[in-house]
């Protein structure tokens, strides 16, 4: 009967179309663009070596960024209260079987923790690293001096040749007034970390740089660990 043939066609041809076109198209899209088997490490050049310790940090943070920016989890999952005001959002430490590694986060919404990781990596971390870099440059150029290797002009020297290392202090400041008179000083950065009278104290800026480096390392480890704590919830 014609109506049975029509029903068969309505079922058969759409099914075959999906098998023969939609799946290959989906496959090609993933192979050419999405590549779920790869994690893009921003800042790592494919032709340069990069230590695993740095790539591990980048890989985890890249997945957090992808989760927040591409998957847009709040568009698909209820992370806080539902339309009726019921608290249905997952919280850290809610499972009695889960070990709590960071007790200060116990009871916080998982999405708030994910947002904190994302904000730290995309805003706070690069800003603090930029401040650290500026303070390092300021300390070298204005306070401590620049390292200089002697050059005897002999181009035949091999890698085993020893050179004398000296510190050029000709451009360093001796008083706070000299520093304040220099153009281009980023006081908006320096005033966040120093009292101006402390800038010329022996070793003060160097010690602050060490403190900043320690904070960067500590925060990297903390937020890397937080990534593993929220891993079970990174689905949409």
As for how many domains the chain has, the answer is: 2
Average pLDDT over residues 208-218: 97
Residue 196 located in a structural domain:
yes
187 and 209 assigned to the same domain: yes
221 and 141 assigned to the same domain: yes
Residue 95 located in a structural domain:
yes
Higher local confidence (pLDDT), 7 or 225: 225
Residue 145 located in a structural domain:
yes
Residue 43 located in a structural domain:
no
Residue 45 located in a structural domain:
no
Residue 167, H or E segment: strand 165-168
Q: Is the pLDDT of residue 167 over 90?
A: no
* Confidence bin at 24 (pLDDT 50/70/90): confident
Residue 203 located in a structural domain:
yes
Which pLDDT tens digit goes with each residue over 148-166?
766 655 555 556 666 676 7
Phi, psi torsion values for 28, nearest 5 degrees:
-65, -40
86 and 23 assigned to the same domain: no
Which pLDDT tens digit goes with each residue over 84-136?
999 999 999 998 878 899 999 999 999 999 999 999 999 999 999 999 999 99
Q: Is the pLDDT of residue 23 over 60?
A: yes
17 and 73 assigned to the same domain: no
Mean pLDDT for the chain overall: 87
Higher local confidence (pLDDT), 197 or 10: 197
* Confidence bin at 51 (pLDDT 50/70/90): very high
- Token pair of 56, please? 């591990």
pLDDT at 170: 77
* Confidence bin at 10 (pLDDT 50/70/90): low
Average pLDDT over residues 58-83: 94
Structural domain boundaries enclosing 19: 1-38
128 and 22 assigned to the same domain: no
Q: Is 18 exposed, middle or buried (0-12, 13-18, 19+ CB in 10 A)?
A: exposed
3-state secondary structure of 223: helix
């Amino acid at each position: 009967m014609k109506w049975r043939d029509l029903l068969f066609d309505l079922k058969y041809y759409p099914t075959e179309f999906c098998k023969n076109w939609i799946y290959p198209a989906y496959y090609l899209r993933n192979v050419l663009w999405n590549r779920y088997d790869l994690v893009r490490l921003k800042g790592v050049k494919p032709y340069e070596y990069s230590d695993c310790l740095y790539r591990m940090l980048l890989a985890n943070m890249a997945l957090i960024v992808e989760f927040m920016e591409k998957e847009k989890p709040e568009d698909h999952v209820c992370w806080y209260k539902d339309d009726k005001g019921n608290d249905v959002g997952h919280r850290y430490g809610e499972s009695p079987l889960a070990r709590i590694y960071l007790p200060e986060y116990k009871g916080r919404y998982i999405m708030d923790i994910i947002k904190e990781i994302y904000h730290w990596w995309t805003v706070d971390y690069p800003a603090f690293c930029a401040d650290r870099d500026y303070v390092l440059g300021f300390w070298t150029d204005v306070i401590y001096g620049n390292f200089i290797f002697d050059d005897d002009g002999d181009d035949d020297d091999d890698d085993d040749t020893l050179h004398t290392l000296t510190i050029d202090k000709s451009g360093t400041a001796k008083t706070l007034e000299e520093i304040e008179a220099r153009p281009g000083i980023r006081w908006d950065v320096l005033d966040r970390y120093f009292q101006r009278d402390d800038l010329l104290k022996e070793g003060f800026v160097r010690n602050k740089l060490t403190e900043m480096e320690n904070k960067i390392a500590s925060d990297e480890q903390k937020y890397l660990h937080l990534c593993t704590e929220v891993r079970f919830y990174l689905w949409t």
